């Protein structure tokens, strides 16, 4: 993820490709006459997502549009409009809601979606590595039900992975889960056949390798609901063990994969059997639909338990001393997803995103493994860094000095706990205001 500050070059390659007319957008600028940009939330291969406010209602929305540096602008815009159409026909509590879509002079095609407060499953796993069985089943049920809705409407998500699963902050004890990013969704086609309306090109590899089914690896244009089921099975496997099986083991089948029964204490046989069946190399050997998959998973006492995902169980590694019941953290924190850049003393930069924030620091997730001075959460070793990010209430880009107090380094991702040691009054006031406005269901920190 490349950090771009608050100025976005949206000039595009040429007017022939329908590029927007303006060259730069900044905080406060208006898109489509009604969405005022506040701050960048995320940037992917083709899209940028901004927090924006509706100029008439004041409603906060997540505004998605095409990244200006994408080479295939026409293709990217068509995919974005297809995503808008897909989301527009889906109404389900487990699927992100779209409020508006259109084509503007400023950015071209855009989608205005509900603004979610919480953390991605990817960020939670980066910080915690695994979930409990109860929490894993909670994710399974929510995502499977959302996928079932999409499949009944003839839509295959095609990119189910932890970064596209969002865990909202709790309002009543049980975290809500949303499936997001239908950017490469496709219409259902008979298995083994290619959907000729897909917006793909020769050589495209859509989705993320760790979660792609064998049939998608062989032919990226395959659009079969059982491919989504496979991806969800891989996500659940990772929730329980902290990593997905290697591609070679997945292609060989469950007999080559790690034994969940032996490695996850207390897991029930039918849960293991259901996950392994969802990961069958041949689509016809999986469940016929996600409803059958979730029916096979649910049925244990664990599945009915209340799942608190983002903060974990009381006394978990998030920071409570079980002997005294006293938290180690000094500041309230709240979910806050935004691009950030970590500037190291050796002059190197690391781009990532924050997942939560407090006056005392940031939780930063990186989409890469990393070696730094702070080896483990319990290590006394630290590394001095500077971190650059947009302040949550003002959108002003700040650079704050701090130290990396802990690092969790896993396969393909890392999480850093950065403690501020040089935050200005402006920075602290912005963060404090945001935390008080948003509230928090996370442990103190």
pLDDT at position 363, please?
A: 92
The answer to whether 445 and 358 are in contact (CB under 8 A) is yes
DSSP 394-441: T--EEEEEEEEEEEEEETTEEEEEEEESS--HHHHHHHHHHHHHH---
Task: Give the model's confidence band at 26: pLDDT under 50 very low, under 70 low, under 90 confident, else very high.
Answer: confident
Q: Is the separation of the CB atoms in 128 and 308 below 8 Å? A: no
pLDDT for residue 275: 96
Query: Are 173 and 288 in a shared domain?
Result: yes
- Are residue 268 and residue 157 in the same domain, yes or no? yes
Tokens 């995503």, residue located: 83
Claim to verify: residue 365 and residue 419 sit in the same structural domain: yes
| Parent domain of 357 | 333-438
Q: Which residue has the higher pLDDT, 9 or 184?
A: 184
Structure tokens at 204: 């495209």
Which run of H or E residues covers position 215?
A: helix 214-218
Task: Report pLDDT for 205.
Answer: 47
Same domain for 293 and 410, yes or no, is: no
DSSP, residue by residue, 70-97 = -S-HHHHHHHHHHHHHHHHT---TTBPP
Q: Which run of H or of E encompasses 24? A: strand 24-25
User: Are residues 107 and 127 located together in one domain of the fold?
Assistant: no
Distance of CA 422 to the CA centre of its chain: 29
CA atoms within 13 A on the CB side of 416: 35
Query: In the predicted model, is pLDDT for residue 193 greater than 50?
Result: no
pLDDT band per the 50, 70, 90 thresholds, residue 51: very high
Q: How many whole angstroms from its chain centre is CA 245?
A: 20
Is pLDDT of 183 > 60?
A: yes
- CA torsion sign for 348, 351, 355, 357 is positive
- Cβ(174)–Cβ(138) under 8 Å? yes
User: Could you tell me if residue 50 is inside a domain?
Assistant: yes
Distances (CA, A) of 127 to 121, 355, 362, 365: 10, 10, 12, 8
What would the pLDDT profile of 70-125 be if each residue is shown by its tens digit? 888 888 888 898 888 888 888 899 999 999 999 999 999 999 999 998 899 999 99
Closest CA to 157 of 84, 231, 101, 260: 231
Q: What is the mean pLDDT of residues 182-211?
A: 60
Beta bridge partners of 80: none
Confidence of residue 8 (pLDDT cuts 50, 70, 90): very low
Task: Tell whether 365 is covered by a domain.
Answer: yes
CA distance 129 to 136: 12
pLDDT band per the 50, 70, 90 thresholds, residue 325: very low
CATH number of the domain to which 423 belongs:
2.40.10.220
Tokens for 72, please give them: 């295939």
Known catalytic residue: 425?
Answer: no
Lowest mean pLDDT among 273-287, 303-317, 339-353, 363-377: 303-317
Is there a single domain that holds both residue 182 and residue 84?
A: no
Q: Which two tokens stand for residue 135?
A: 């929490």
Query: Is position 91 within any domain?
Result: yes
Distance CA 25, CA 9 (A): 7
Q: Of 114, 148, 173, which marks where a domain is finished?
A: 114
| pLDDT of 173 | 56
Place of tokens 């953290």: 329
Closest of 157, 237, 206 to residue 411, by C-alpha = 237
Per-residue pLDDT reduced to its tens digit, 413-437: 788 899 999 899 999 999 999 988 8
State the pLDDT at residue 233.
97
Q: Check residue 171 and report its DSSP letter.
A: S
Query: CATH number of the domain that 47 lies in?
Result: 3.30.200.20
Q: Is residue 325 included in any domain, yes or no?
A: no
Task: In whole angstroms, give the CA distance from residue 131 to residue 317.
Answer: 12
DSSP state of 98: E
Q: Indicate which CATH number applies to the domain containing 272.
A: 1.10.510.10
Report yes or no: 169 and 434 within 8 Å, Cβ to Cβ: no
Residue 351 lies in a domain: yes
Phi and psi dihedrals of 163, rounded to 5? -75, -15
pTM of the predicted model over 0.85: no
Q: Are residues 88 and 166 in the same domain?
A: no
Q: Do 77 and 143 have their domain in common?
A: no
- Domain stops at, among 94, 114, 134: 114
Q: How far apart are CA 59 and CA 48, in angstroms?
A: 19
Same-domain check for residues 240 and 352: no
Residues 130 and 231 in one domain: yes
Q: Which of 7, 9, 122, 159 is catalytic?
A: 159
For the stretch 387-398, what's the b/e string if a residue is b when 16 or more beta carbons lie within 10 angstroms of its beta carbon? Answer: bbbbbbbbbebb
Q: Residue 281: its pLDDT value, please?
A: 94
pLDDT(132) > 90: yes
Residues 296, 213 share a domain:
yes
Alpha-carbon distance of 136 to 70, in angstroms, equals 36
CA 292 to chain centre: 26
pLDDT-derived band at 222, boundaries 50, 70, 90 = confident
Residue that finishes a domain, picked among 114, 147, 178: 114
β-strand pairing of 108-114 with 98-104:
antiparallel
| Mean pLDDT, the chain, whole residue set | 80
Alpha-carbon torsion, ordered 155, 246, 337, 52, to 10 deg: -30
Do 93 and 126 lie in one domain? The reply is no
Q: Please check whether residue 445 lies inside any domain of the structure.
A: no
Residue 25 has a pLDDT of: 75
Model confidence at 195: pLDDT above 60: no
Residue 322 has pLDDT above 70, yes or no: no
- Which pLDDT band, with edges at 50, 70 and 90, does 290 fall under? very high
> What is the tens place of the pLDDT at every residue in 255-266?
889 999 999 999
Q: Is 37 helix (H, G, I), strand (E, B) or coil?
A: strand
Q: Which position has the higher pLDDT, 386 or 12?
A: 386
Residue at 314 is within a domain: no
H helix runs in 242-348, sequence order: 247-252, 260-263, 269-278, 290-297, 301-304
Q: Is the pLDDT of residue 2 over 80?
A: no
What pLDDT is recorded for position 75?
86
In a domain, 383, yes or no: yes
How many structural domains does the chain have? 3
């Amino acid at each position: 993820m490349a950090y771009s500050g608050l100025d976005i070059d949206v000039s595009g390659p040429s007017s022939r490709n329908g590029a927007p007319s303006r060259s730069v957008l900044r905080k406060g600028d208006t898109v489509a006459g009604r969405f005022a940009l506040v701050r960048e939330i995320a940037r992917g291969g083709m899209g940028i997502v901004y927090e924006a406010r509706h100029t008439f209602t004041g409603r906060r929305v997540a505004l998605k549009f095409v990244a200006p540096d994408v080479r295939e602008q026409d293709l990217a815009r068509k995919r974005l409009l297809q995503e808008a159409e897909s989301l527009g026909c889906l109404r389900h509590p487990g699927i992100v809601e779209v409020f508006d879509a259109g084509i503007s002079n400023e950015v071209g095609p855009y989608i205005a979606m509900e603004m979610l407060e919480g953390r991605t499953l990817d960020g939670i796993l980066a910080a915690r590595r695994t979930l409990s069985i109860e929490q894993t089943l909670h994710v399974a049920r929510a995502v499977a039900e959302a996928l079932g809705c999409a499949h009944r409407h003839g839509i295959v998500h095609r990119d189910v992975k932890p970064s596209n699963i969002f865990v909202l902050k709790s309002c009543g004890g049980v975290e809500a889960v949303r499936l997001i990013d239908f950017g490469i969704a496709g219409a259902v086609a008979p298995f083994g056949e290619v959907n000729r309306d897909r917006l793909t090109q020769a050589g495209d590899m859509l989705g993320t390798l760790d979660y792609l089914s064998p049939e998608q690896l062989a032919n990226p244009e395959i659009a079969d609901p059982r491919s989504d089921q496979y991806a969800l099975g891989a996500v659940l496997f990772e929730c329980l063990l902290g990593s997905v099986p290697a591609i070679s083991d997945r292609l060989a089948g469950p007999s080559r994969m790690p034994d969940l029964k032996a490695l996850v204490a207390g897991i029930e046989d039918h849960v293991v059997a259901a996950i392994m069946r969802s990961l069958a190399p041949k689509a016809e050997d999986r469940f016929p639909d996600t409803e059958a998959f979730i029916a096979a998973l649910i049925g244990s006492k664990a599945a009915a338990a209340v799942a608190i995902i983002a903060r974990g169980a009381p006394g978990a590694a998030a920071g409570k001393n079980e002997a005294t019941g006293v938290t180690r953290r000094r500041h309230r924190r709240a979910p806050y997803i935004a691009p950030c850049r970590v500037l190291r003393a050796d002059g190197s930069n690391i781009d990532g995103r924050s997942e939560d924030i407090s006056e005392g620091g940031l939780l930063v997730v990186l989409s890469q493994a990393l070696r730094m001075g702070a080896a483990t959460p319990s290590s006394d070793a630290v590394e001095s860094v500077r971190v650059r990010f947009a302040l949550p209430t003002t959108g002003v880009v700040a650079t704050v000095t701090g130290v990396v107090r802990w690092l969790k380094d896993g396969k393909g991702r890392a999480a850093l706990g950065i403690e501020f040691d040089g935050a200005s009054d402006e920075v602290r006031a912005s963060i404090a205001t945001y935390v008080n406005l948003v509230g928090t269901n996370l442990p103190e920190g």
